[in-house]
Amino acid sequence: MTFKVEECDDSDMPHTFEIISQAFAHEHQYIDAAFPAHSEPASRANGASRMLSTKHQDPCAKFLKVIDQDTGTMIAQAKWNIYQNTIPPEFDLDGEFWDDEEEKEYAQLLCREYLLPRREAIRDSGGNLMPLELLTVDPKFQRRGAGRLLVQWGTSLADELGFAAVVEATDCGVGLYQSEGLEDRGRWQTRLPKKWENSRGKQRFTWMVRPAGNNFGN
Ligand SMILES: CC(C)(COP(=O)(O)OP(=O)(O)OC[C@H]1O[C@@H](n2cnc3c(N)ncnc32)[C@H](O)[C@@H]1OP(=O)(O)O)[C@@H](O)C(=O)NCCC(=O)NCCS
């Protein structure tokens, strides 16, 4: 198999979201909360159109895909955010995607909590940072190097720009990121108010940073 990284165009957003939904399944509390019922067709269509809006509205968002050149199939996706002298506005999640106000409130809280270290890192960098926001590989094509290609796409650019790269890593991502120079900066867990302490899930992740001016691999 020969893999190639390319920028996504608008028509890739349904497949992008499908891969996100399949790869995370229901093991990522934040994705489940932000994109309710994301394995159902109507919710997948919603997810795709939300990705498309972000692609159109956020000039710092770079949507990438890996194509298997033997078949022309898209097998993986990533979204790197490239902040150059830009501290993005801190919006809450919003929209009409949730069954009721409590579901929406929970998703908004998880999102705010999830983004705490990233937002602090963006401020500390003066708005010169590359967060890897999403990285997923179609489960049928995992462990064949597609994830690594998408990480390397961003780390190379970060090196060129002299920026740090950061990621909120899932457990299965940590080893890959470490092998590309991202350092484990500690375990994070989203906090919940008392009313949800025993009834709602928390999102856990490893906060990882690849410092600016990294000489990794040189
Ligand atoms: C994590 C993920 C993106 C890795 O992509 P991939 O294309 O399967 O990974 P690669 O083939 O490039 O793997 C490179 C290395 O990462 C590590 N790795 C990959 N998947 C792993 C897993 N599930 N568990 C532990 N280590 C893993 C291995 O060291 C692997 O090298 P090896 O296959 O030679 O042992 C992919 O498994 C995925 O989509 N997972 C579900 C979604 C997710 O958690 N994304 C990360 C969000 S931060």
pLDDT at 215: 65
Looking at beta carbons, which pairs linking 134-137 to residues 24 or more positions away fall under 8 Å? 134/20, 134/77, 134/78, 134/79, 135/76, 135/77, 135/78, 135/79, 135/167, 135/173, 136/19, 136/20, 136/22, 136/23, 136/24, 136/76, 136/77, 136/78, 137/19, 137/23, 137/66, 137/75, 137/76
- Mean pLDDT score, 194-213: 95
Nearest atom in ligand 1 to 146's CA: 7
Kindly state if the Cβ of 24 falls inside 6 Å of ligand 1.
yes
Listed residue (27, 34, 30, 24) closest to 189, CA to CA: 30
For the chain, what are the domain ranges? 3-210
pLDDT value at residue 19: 98
| Residues 120-177: tens digit of each pLDDT | 999 999 999 999 999 999 999 999 999 999 999 999 999 999 999 999 999 999 999 9
Percent above pLDDT 90 for the chain: 95
What was the pLDDT predicted at 33?
96
- Rounded to whole angstroms, what are the CA distances from 176 to 37, 38, 167? 29, 26, 12
Phi-psi bin for 67: left (phi > 0), alpha (psi -120 to 50), beta? beta
pLDDT for 218 equals 54
The CATH code belonging to domain 3-210 is 3.40.630.30
Please give the pLDDT value at position 213.
85
Tell me the average pLDDT across 171-186: 98
Q: Please determine, for residue 217, whether its predicted confidence score (pLDDT) is greater than 70.
A: no
Which residues does residue 78 pair with via DSSP β-bridges, in sequence order? Answer: 64, 135
Residue nearest (by alpha carbon) to ligand 1 atom 18? 176
Query: Per-residue confidence at 1, pLDDT binned at 50, 70, 90?
Result: confident
What is the pLDDT averaged over residues 181-206? Answer: 95
Ligand 1 contact via 33 beta carbon (within 6 Å): no
pLDDT at 58: 97
Q: Is the pLDDT of residue 190 over 90?
A: yes
- Strand 164-169 to 73-81 pairing: unpaired
Phi then psi for residue 203, to 5 deg, are: -100, 130
Query: Distance, CA 101 to ligand 1 centroid (Å)?
Result: 35
Atom of ligand 1 nearest to the CA of 28: 44
Strand partners, 83: 129
- What is the rounded average pLDDT of the residues 67-73? 97
In a 3-state reduction of DSSP, which class is residue 55? helix
Mean pLDDT estimate for the chain: 96
User: Is ligand 1 within 6 A of the CB of residue 74?
Assistant: no
State pLDDT tens for residues 87-103: 999 999 999 999 999 99
Output phi, psi for 86, to 5 deg: -140, 120
Query: Is ligand 1 within 6 A of the CB of residue 135?
Result: yes
Distance of CA 155 to the CA centre of its chain: 15
